[in-house]
Amino acid sequence: MAKVGFVGLGIMGTPMAGHLIDAGHTLYLYDIKPIPAELTGKGGVACATGTEVASHADIIITMVPDTPHVAAALFGENGIAAGLTAGKIVVDMSSIAPVETKEFAAKINALGCDYLDAPVSGGEVGAKAASLTIMVGGPEAAFETVKPLFEKMGKNITLVGGNGDGQTTKVANQIIVALNILAVGEALLFASKAGADPAKVRQALMGGFANSRILEVHGERMVNRTFNPGFRIELHQKDLNLALTGARQLQMSLPSTALAQQLFSSVAAHGGAALDHSALVKALELLANHTVTPDA
């Protein structure tokens, strides 16, 4: 069994760490908030700093919201880097910028340690079900060492390439997810305003070529008006900002991604930044002066 550090115990990190504890691994835990009792109650070891986590663990996982948070967790005061010794592996499972990821990897490599960027897709549901898709960038030997841990947290696990390639894949994933949410929202809104029952339309579409995981899960959210967050709009905005920033750096255009970002921004401007990203449909509803189904 491995000695694993886990830094970042939010909506995603807590169930992910829990699966590793359940599998028999020793977990050293740190978060800026109190460590969840559900983790310490089944054997997780609470630590006072990231440095303390890294000093105890051989593999250290970070799962925090954005690029600056990863930088702080790794290299800030009492950060992970200060507790590393040669031969350890740092695994960032956050969704952050590919360019900065390569810089972080170089700094960790300089300490004699390997670095994997391993962002995930699947949201809170996937984290709880241990069914996450995990997209990994980094050296193959380190990937093979960490893979048994990935298998306790996810199902579709792919070594895409070198450092930064995992994060690039996640950005691509978030483009596809956003545009699928937009498509499902437009379709159900069109059906509803035309007088059809959107729940039955969704059911019919799920039997054809238009079926998707987004139609299944987020289409149901749109019909039932259940926008409690599995993945918050503000986090998807962060991911699309990575895409649009990268597009500018590559001197290319992502027009549909830009549109989705503007619609997310509209929902956020109306107080919905913390809603589930399926609530993008609310921006479309404002434009149509119609809701898919009436709000409760």
Tokens of 108: 């960790």
User: Three-class SS of residue 44?
Assistant: coil
Tokens of 119: 């962002």
Residue 260 pLDDT greater than 80, yes or no: yes
Contact 258, 245 (CB under 8 A): no
Task: Measure the CA–CA gap between 241 and 95, rounded to whole angstroms.
Answer: 12
Summarised one tens digit per residue, pLDDT across range 143-200 is: 999 999 999 999 999 999 999 999 999 999 999 999 999 999 999 999 999 999 999 9
Task: Measure the CA–CA gap between 62 and 119, rounded to whole angstroms.
Answer: 10
Q: Which amino acid is at 205?
A: L
121, β-bridge pairs: 133
Task: Measure the CA–CA gap between 88 and 142, rounded to whole angstroms.
Answer: 9
Tokens of 1: 């069994």
Task: Measure the CA–CA gap between 79 and 50, rounded to whole angstroms.
Answer: 5
- Predicted confidence band of residue 296 (pLDDT cuts 50, 70, 90): low
Tokens of 296: 């409760």
Tokens of 106: 């170089």
Write the CA distances from 202 to 47, 55, 136, 212, 219, integer angstroms.
Answer: 47, 51, 34, 11, 7
Summarised one tens digit per residue, pLDDT across range 121-139 is: 988 889 999 999 999 999 9
**Residue located via tokens 């499972």:** 93
Q: In this structure, what is the dihedral angle of CA atoms 124, 130, 133, 135, given to the nearest 10 degrees?
A: 100
User: Which residues are known catalytic residues?
Assistant: 170
Residue 295 pLDDT greater than 90, yes or no: no
Tokens of 268: 């956020």
Tokens of 294: 């009436």
Q: pLDDT over 90 for what percent of the chain?
A: 96
